């Protein structure tokens, strides 16, 4: 039997793990990726938008690949602001229609896996990593649930010079590696619930005003989440659409709603339900999203170990980034590992270069921004209740101003704003958001 020893073992076949694997395979490093699901992507879930630039870093010929994981390019993007009384759409046609595309994880992740396999990455699906092999503090490999031979009750030890943890949000191994300062709480994660809905033929294009080859990515704010902090989303796929909600687990726990009740409520929202008429649910799923940001950031390296993607918590909910951050972190980890092999040193002395790279990148800068935003924005109930209502009411007044003195209409609008939030309140909110962003 061939000896089971690898230069690198990667735990988890999502975009972070696969990006690291692809980077290593390109450099000729013997890496093994272990995935728990039946195939890469089988157990994974996301809203549905991927950014072309990040994928091109891995697959230069993208998007000219066959079979393509692209559902639709995102040609139109924006917000729906929903109040109980109505809907304001704020959409823009994108300058570059190829900048982003929609996808499903089952197809996107397995596309990356196929690409990685061709480059020489070894992939073992249907296998669970039980624990890390350790020598003191140094990580020396992994232990998997499967035996070496039929009937052998013992799990298999797989030694490696470096272990890359790309296990996702639950970060069991990250904890076993001793890299976590504090466990995450309900306020550190969002729960995303999502349905893939098949519409009658032609309905998707007709209802959203799209032509073939055009796609839409919309975030929904307001009454869609019953005014809880969080957003809804609609992304169009080739023949169906992804619809879902993302909410902080802590808010959800405090509210009277169960996630599926909220999703049902959102789908039946009087100003959205026409969109889903006669739709058939093909899939539904739920997943946690790490939003612990800087405070919950684990140590990203140790002796013989690196942490990438969701396990690290590299997600920016405001700008819908997660998959691309996973990809970039996977590539950075890969580059650091290549360096480690050149030096022949797998200790934290070399591996800390990964964290340094991350700190210099936009990813880390954004985590800082996000920390401030989270404090002021995500906890600001006005954003999810008062402002959506105010916006709709104001616009509604403005567009029904015919046949009345316009000064009176304006006065009414000002009165409305004063009553709902007050100018000082608005200025205060703006300053807070401004401070966080600049």
Taking the complex as a whole, the smallest distance from the CB of residue 156 to another protein amounts, in Å, to 5
Please choose, from the candidates 203, 170, 205, 185, the residue with its C-alpha nearest in 3D space to the C-alpha of residue 248.
185
Say how far apart CA 311 and CA 292 lie, in whole Å. 11
Nearer to another protein, 150 or 399 (CB): 150
Nearer to another protein, 28 or 185 (CB): 28
322 contacts: CB under 8 Å, gap ≥ 6: 46, 289, 310, 314, 315, 316
| Among 96, 152, 261, 345, contact with another protein (rule: CB under 8 A) | 152
Report strand pairing: 156-165 vs 6-11: parallel
| Among 56, 98, 126, 359, contact with another protein (rule: CB under 8 A) | 126
Say how far apart CA 101 and CA 43 lie, in whole Å. 21
Residues 240-299 that bind another protein (CB under 8 A): 282
Nearer to another protein, 96 or 152 (CB): 152
- Cα-to-chain-centroid distance, residue 181: 23
Q: Does 368 bind another protein (CB under 8 A)?
A: no
Taking the complex as a whole, the smallest distance from the CB of residue 37 to another protein amounts, in Å, to 13
Q: Does 18 bind another protein (CB under 8 A)?
A: no
Residues 396-425 that bind another protein (CB under 8 A): none
Q: Which residues of 17-86 form beta strands (DSSP E)?
A: 31-34, 49-51, 72-73, 76-82
Show the CA angle centred on residue 201, arms to residues 200 and 204, nearest 5°: 80
Q: Does 66 bind another protein (CB under 8 A)?
A: no
Say how far apart CA 149 and CA 156 lie, in whole Å. 9
Place of tokens 């395979």: 25
Taking the complex as a whole, the smallest distance from the CB of residue 22 to another protein amounts, in Å, to 16
Taking the complex as a whole, the smallest distance from the CB of residue 333 to another protein amounts, in Å, to 22
Say how far apart CA 252 and CA 232 lie, in whole Å. 14
Q: Does 4 bind another protein (CB under 8 A)?
A: yes
Cβ contact 230:379 at 8 Å: no
Which backbone phi and psi does 203 adopt, to 5 degrees? -70, -35
| Among 2, 61, 66, 274, contact with another protein (rule: CB under 8 A) | 2
Binding mask 154-173 for another protein (x = CB under 8 A): --x-x---------------
Q: Does 122 bind another protein (CB under 8 A)?
A: yes
Nearer to another protein, 243 or 257 (CB): 243
Taking the complex as a whole, the smallest distance from the CB of residue 155 to another protein amounts, in Å, to 9
Tokens describing residue 345: 């040193």
| Among 25, 81, 123, 208, contact with another protein (rule: CB under 8 A) | 123
353 contacts: CB under 8 Å, gap ≥ 6: 336, 339
Q: Does 117 bind another protein (CB under 8 A)?
A: yes
Nearer to another protein, 130 or 433 (CB): 130
Taking the complex as a whole, the smallest distance from the CB of residue 19 to another protein amounts, in Å, to 19
Residues 22-41 that bind another protein (CB under 8 A): 32
Nearer to another protein, 167 or 219 (CB): 167
Q: Which residues of 276-427 form beta strands (DSSP E)?
A: 280-290, 301-302, 305-307
Residues 131-150 that bind another protein (CB under 8 A): 144, 146-150
Q: Is the dihedral of CA 361, 366, 367, 369 positive or negative?
A: positive
Please choose, from the candidates 35, 23, 26, the residue with its C-alpha nearest in 3D space to the C-alpha of residue 123.
35
- The residues binding another protein (CB under 8 A) are 1-2, 4, 32, 117, 122-127, 144, 146-152, 156, 158, 282
């Amino acid at each position: 039997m061939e000896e089971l020893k690898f230069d690198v073992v990667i735990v988890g076949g999502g975009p972070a793990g696969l990006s690291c694997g692809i980077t290593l395979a390109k450099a000729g490093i013997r890496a093994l990726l272990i995935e728990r699901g039946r195939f890469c992507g089988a157990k994974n879930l996301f809203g549905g938008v991927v950014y072309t630039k990040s994928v091109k870093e891995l697959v230069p010929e993208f998007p000219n690949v066959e079979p393509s994981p692209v559902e639709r390019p995102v040609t139109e993007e924006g917000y729906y602001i929903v109040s109980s009384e109505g809907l304001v759409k704020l959409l823009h046609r994108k300058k570059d229609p190829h900048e982003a595309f929609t996808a499903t994880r089952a197809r996107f992740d397995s596309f990356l896996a196929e690409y990685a396999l061709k480059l020489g990455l070894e992939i073992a699906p249907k296998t669970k990593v039980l624990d890390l092999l350790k020598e003191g503090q140094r990580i020396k490999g992994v232990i998997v649930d499967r035996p070496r031979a039929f009937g052998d009750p013992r799990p298999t030890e797989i030694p490696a010079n470096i272990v890359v943890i790309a296990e996702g949000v639950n970060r069991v191994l990250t904890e076993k590696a001793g890299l976590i300062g504090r466990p995450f709480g309900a306020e550190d994660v969002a729960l995303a619930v999502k349905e893939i809905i098949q519409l009658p033929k032609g309905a998707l294009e007709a209802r959203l005003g799209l032509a073939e080859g055009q796609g839409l990515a919309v975030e929904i704010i307001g009454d869609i989440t019953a005014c809880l902090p969080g957003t809804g989303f609609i992304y169009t796929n080739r023949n169906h659409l992804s619809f879902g909600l993302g909410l902080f687990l802590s808010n959800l726990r405090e509210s009277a709603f169960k996630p599926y009740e909220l999703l049902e409520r959102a789908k039946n929202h009087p100003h959205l339900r026409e969109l889903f008429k006669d739709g058939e649910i093909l899939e539904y799923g739920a997943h946690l999203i790490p939003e612990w940001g800087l405070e919950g950031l684990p140590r990203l390296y140790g002796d013989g170990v690196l942490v990438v993607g969701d396990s690290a918590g590299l997600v920016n909910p405001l700008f819908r980034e997660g998959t691309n951050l996973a990809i970039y972190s996977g590539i950075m980890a890969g580059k650091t590992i290549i360096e480690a092999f050149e030096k022949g040193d797998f200790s934290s002395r070399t591996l800390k270069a990964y964290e340094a790279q991350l700190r210099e990148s936009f990813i880390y800068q954004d985590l800082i921004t996000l920390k401030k935003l989270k404090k002021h924005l995500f906890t600001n109930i006005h954003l999810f209740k008062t402002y959506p209502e105010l916006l709709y009411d104001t616009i509604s007044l403005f567009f029904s101003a015919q046949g009345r003195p316009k000064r009176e209409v304006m006065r009414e609008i000002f009165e409305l704003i004063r009553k709902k939030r007050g100018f000082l309140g608005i200025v205060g909110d703006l300053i807070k958001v401004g401070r966080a962003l600049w």
